Chain A
Amino acid sequence: MKAIGFVIVLLTGGFLIYAAADFPGWGDPNSPASLHVSPYYLENTVEQTHVPNAVTSVVADYRGYDTMFETTVIFTAGVVCFFLLRTLLRKEPEDRLYRHVLTGVTIRVKEGKLPPSEEFERIDTTWTPHDLIIKTICRLLVPFVQIFALYVICFGHYSPGGGFQGGVILGASIIVYAISTDLRSELQRIREKTDALLSAFGVFLYAGTGALCLLLGFNFLDYHALAPILFVNRVMARSHGIFIVEVGVGIAVMGTMIWIYSVLASRGHYDEGL
């Protein structure tokens, strides 16, 4: 198997190097790629969409249709992970593990009986880490991470950032909480159902704005149609359209990241997680 792999790799590598000989030099300003289509974006982005960050305006407006499908790809990945690993009807183990929160002593309680007192928290596997320092630091960290994530989503127009990056950081802030404490306590804050509905709503918001423009008589995802609704001129309508779409992407990516993490970390049983 190694020999076949080596031969294939050498052949394709040689072929690619042979083909790379004809490329324009790296970084020269008058290569065809930087002369044919992209100057239009740079020249007209501020004038047509009032968004100085050319990448955000191309992502969400000129080629917004690509990004809609790309958010659908993320949502599909979430649905596939849930579909593959999630075991919904799980039989309860006959004896349960409890751990005393303060001292860390773990006890095994037979089915049906209750733990001796309230400070015992339920755990699934004996080695779940329980570290006071990590827990408190993460509790302090989470709000600031979330504020930064909201900044990243909203300021995608003027600085690098946007829906994806902000959504992932939002999701990461909740994953940090799930890692530092355990998945069960994180699930008390965000139910699995709300998580799935959140990510479905996020992408629906994106595709719904497009469909709204369709219903108002313009082409799909043509934000000019939003001008009469938002009571702004057409250029600002495009800027606001981009913002709505970025918020939709942020919500979708956040929901999906948490969903995939909780399915992967708990192997579908939604028990203790990492």
Chain B
Amino acid sequence: MEDIVQTVVAKYNYWIYITLMMMGLYAMIAKNNLIKKIVGMNIFQTAIILFYVSIGVKKGATIPIIKALHGHHEAINPAEYMNPLPHVLMLTAIVVGVATLGVALAFAIRVYNRYNTLEEDEILSQIRTKTEEI
């Protein structure tokens, strides 16, 4: 029993990122409201960011800013500092998430201007009635 708890807790980050991702995926597929789908999309993206950043974590390491070296030729021990590469990748992913959010909200406003509702089923019924008239 002890080692099961140990393995679960040892990789707790990875279970949480999977639950967040599945929440986002479910919201994008099953939610009826367009804005709720956008929220689901953003949760989906932040879950992947959680996965990446938890790769770079090292136990007992500090933030990846090299402390001012008094003696210049002292070797820097990489184990003291966190892994900076996932942080760089995730700077990009966060900004891409905001860019996609802005564009998706612009689309949602444009859909609302045209169909006067944000519910997917109401929009589809409006489209169906319009195609029957033609």
Contact = CB atoms under 8 A, between A and B. Distances in A.
Task: Classify the secondary structure of B's interface with A.
Answer: helix
A88 interface: no
B96 to A, nearest CB: 6
Interface in B94-108: 95-96, 98-100, 102-103, 105-107
A26 B65 contact: no
Interface stretch (A35-43, A122-130, A175-183, A205-213): A35-43
A132 interface: no
Given A20-B14, A158-B65, A13 B22 contact: yes
Interface string B1-40: 0000000001111110011011001100110100000000
Contacts of A160: 63, 65
Nearest to A25: B10
B56 A33 contact: yes
B113 A267 contact: yes
B84 A58 contact: yes
A9 B20 CA distance: 11
Nearest to A2: B30
B56 A34 contact: yes
A159 B109 CA distance: 39
Interface in A21-65: 23, 25-29, 31, 33-34, 37-39, 41-43, 45-46, 52-55, 58-59, 63
A106 interface: no
A12 B107 contact: no
A233 interface: no
Contact of A54 (B60, B64, B95, B102): B64
A74 interface: yes
A260 B15 CA distance: 35
B85 interface: yes
A264 B109 contact: yes
B130 interface: no
B61 interface: yes
5 contacts: A23-B11, A23-B14, A55-B64, A84-B106, A253-B95
Interface of B: 10-15, 18-19, 21-22, 25-26, 29-30, 32, 54-61, 63-69, 75-76, 78-79, 81, 83-89, 91-92, 95-96, 98-100, 102-103, 105-107, 109-110, 113
